[in-house]
């Protein structure tokens, strides 16, 4: 049986975790987001599979009640389970809403079915902090993939590199460029027809764009006319 100090410690840990998760629920997920509503209205044919059965206020209320009941009965395993479930539901909800900012079509490229897989298709073969991965493919089998990344440690490294353009120029096939209003590091492997952009939005957000089979960076610029990086940044700040 847990001693009083152990019970008190468990309560502190659980309530701290619940406070973080419930705070996110109240500020970023329960309140209506006008940007998302606008995108849904203007893009009825977007790929939003799974969004129709999205997280509701009743879902949140029920899970929170389960957490409170478990805590009042000192059922710690249940409290931890429902807290983790709440966190999972909120993350899924955020991902589905973020997916709405990406159209079904980008010129000749069509979106693959909705996914949240961390593909890790960048030149370094790694995947870290990816909160959404969205891939588009054309009839020739060429593809463009967008990965929305939330990893402040990695992003800070790119920011430091961008402050020293001379270091970027020393990297093979890399240049400092501008994507919409944001700084980006572009890697273009002409013979392999591979293009990658690491677009730094802010200290907590970066969008990696990886394309295979496209002829030049202008193709990326063309498809980006369908996507507003500023709106994505604004949405994730809420």
Give the model confidence (pLDDT) of 111-120 as tens digits.
987 554 444 4
Check whether 64 has a pLDDT greater than 80: yes
The range of the structural domain enclosing residue 73 comes to 4-99
Enumerate the β-bridge partners of residue 111.
136
Check whether 235 has a pLDDT greater than 70: yes
Same domain, 119 and 87: no
Check whether 227 has a pLDDT greater than 90: yes
Q: Report pLDDT for 124.
A: 41
Same domain, 122 and 19: no
Mean pLDDT, rounded, for 148-163: 90
**Best CA proximity match to 212, nearest among 191, 185, 226, 229:** 191
Q: How many domains does the structure of the chain reveal?
A: 2
**Best CA proximity match to 174, nearest among 165, 148, 17, 212:** 165
Cα–Cα–Cα angle for 14, 88, 50, rounded to 5 degrees: 155
Same domain, 205 and 232: yes
Same domain, 92 and 154: no
* Residues 6+ positions from 68 with CB-CB distance below 8 Å: none
Same domain, 61 and 139: no
Boundary (domain end) residue, out of 69, 99, 129:
99
pLDDT higher at 128 or 122: 128
Same domain, 172 and 111: yes
Same domain, 145 and 204: yes
Same domain, 115 and 179: yes
Provide the whole-model pTM: 0.69
Check whether 13 has a pLDDT greater than 60: no
Same domain, 134 and 225: yes
Same domain, 19 and 74: yes
pLDDT, averaged across the chain: 77
CA distance 181 to 192: 28
Mean pLDDT, rounded, for 4-10: 42
pLDDT tens per residue, range 80-120 = 999 999 988 888 888 888 999 999 999 899 998 755 444 44
Boundary (domain end) residue, out of 99, 128, 163:
99
């Amino acid at each position: 049986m847990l001693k009083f100090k152990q019970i008190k410690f468990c309560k502190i840990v659980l309530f701290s975790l619940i406070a973080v998760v419930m705070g996110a629920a109240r500020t970023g997920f329960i309140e209506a987001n006008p940007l998302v509503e606008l995108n849904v209205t203007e893009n009825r044919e977007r790929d939003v599979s799974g969004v129709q059965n999205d997280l509701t206020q009743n879902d949140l209320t029920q899970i929170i009640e389960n957490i409170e009941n478990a805590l009042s009965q000192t059922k710690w395993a249940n409290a931890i389970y429902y807290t983790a479930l709440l966190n999972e539901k909120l993350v899924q909800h955020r991902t589905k809403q973020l997916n709405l900012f990406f159209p079904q079509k980008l010129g000749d490229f069509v979106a693959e079915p909705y996914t949240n897989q961390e593909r890790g298709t960048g030149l370094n073969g790694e995947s870290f902090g990816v909160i959404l991965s969205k891939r588009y493919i054309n009839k020739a089998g060429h593809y463009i993939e967008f990965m929305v990344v939330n990893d402040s440690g990695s992003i800070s490294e790119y920011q430091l590199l961008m402050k020293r353009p001379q270091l970027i120029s020393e990297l093979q096939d890399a240049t400092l460029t501008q994507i919409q209003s944001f700084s980006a590091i572009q890697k273009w492997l002409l013979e392999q027809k591979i293009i990658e952009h690491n677009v730094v939005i802010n200290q907590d957000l970066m969008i990696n764009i990886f394309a295979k089979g496209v002829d030049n960076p202008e193709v990326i610029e063309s498809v980006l006319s369908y996507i507003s990086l500023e709106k994505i940044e604004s949405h994730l700040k809420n």
